[in-house]
């Protein structure tokens, strides 16, 4: 599978991988800043998201393979890679299975562990939204499954402009949600390149007890906590997060 790519700038390549229900354009502000600093910044739509193809299977090996094939198709032999949430797990899997492609790795607020599937009620609510329902009514229909208005607004960016349905592969995501929330590291694999793990101060996705797991897979991992940020690092603290990425992926 070749993924949809949004590019900006010239210079050393930095690849950005978004999280569940996201898309490449979520990184627009970050991408423009990083590109202005002298980088070729490539943001990818993950499978079943944005303008990328839909696929029945969506585990992390397949996601990493899709990223690898896309980079090959773009003539990119090696790149710094930043992944947030689901994209962070895909980035870790890419580094573990195809380390020659990853010059350095930044993992944004996710750990190489399995998580409870908190998204099941929301996905079911999304599946129940009929075509043509106005945006305000869709928002109200999702409220019981997701009380956070900010998260709902983020989810609603996945509605088609004509309100005819969802542009993401919702049925495929629903069927493969256990794999998305899970994690299975490749046997005996490690990534020996520079690795930075960035956690949000107010997020619970990365815990202190996850550090030995990180270090077993990424021996050179360093850890940083972004003050004032929740799970949505690039949205909560855009300048601070951009500065972290700039420092870790120099031109």
85 is catalytic: yes
Of 49, 84, 231, 234, the catalytic one is 231
Instruction: Single out the residue of 172, 170, 229, 176 nearest to residue 199, CA to CA.
Output: 229
Lateral strand order in the sheet of 79-84: 5-8, 40-44, 13-17, 79-84, 102-108, 195-200, 221-226
What is the Cα–Cα distance from 164 to 158, expressed in whole angstroms?
11
Packing angle, helices 28-36 and 238-248, rounded to 10: 40
231 is catalytic: yes
Which H or E run includes 156?
helix 149-156
Of 49, 85, 146, 203, the catalytic one is 85
What is the Cα–Cα distance from 24 to 45, expressed in whole angstroms?
5
- Number of C-alpha atoms within 13 angstroms, CB side, residue 46? 29
Of 171, 174, 230, 246, the catalytic one is 171
Which residues have a catalytic role annotated? 85, 171, 231
């Amino acid at each position: 599978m070749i993924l949809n790519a949004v590019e900006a700038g010239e210079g050393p390549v930095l690849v950005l991988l978004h999280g569940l229900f996201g898309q490449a354009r979520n990184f627009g502000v970050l991408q423009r800043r990083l590109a202005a600093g002298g980088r070729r910044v490539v943001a990818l739509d993950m499978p079943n998201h944005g303008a990328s193809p839909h696929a029945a299977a969506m585990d992390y090996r397949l996601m990493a393979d899709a990223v690898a094939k896309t980079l090959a198709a773009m003539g990119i032999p090696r790149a710094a890679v930043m992944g947030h949430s689901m994209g962070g797990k895909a980035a870790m899997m890419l580094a573990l299975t195809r380390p020659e492609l990853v010059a350095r790795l930044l993992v944004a607020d996710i750990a190489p562990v399995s998580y409870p599937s908190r998204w099941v009620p929301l996905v079911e609510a999304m599946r129940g939204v009929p075509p043509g329902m106005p945006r305000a009514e869709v928002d109200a229909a999702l409220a019981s499954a997701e009380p956070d208005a900010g998260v709902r607004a983020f989810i609603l960016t996945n509605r088609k402009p004509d309100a005819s349905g969802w542009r993401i592969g919702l049925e495929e995501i629903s069927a493969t949600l256990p794999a998305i929330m899970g994690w299975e590291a490749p046997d005996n694999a490690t990534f020996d390149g520079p690795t930075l793990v960035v956690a949000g101060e107010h997020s619970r996705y990365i815990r202190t007890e996850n550090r030995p797991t990180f270090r077993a897979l990424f021996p050179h991992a360093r850890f940083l906590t972004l003050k004032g940020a929740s799970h949505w690092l690039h949205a909560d603290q855009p300048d601070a997060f951009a500065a972290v990425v700039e420092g870790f992926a120099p031109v």
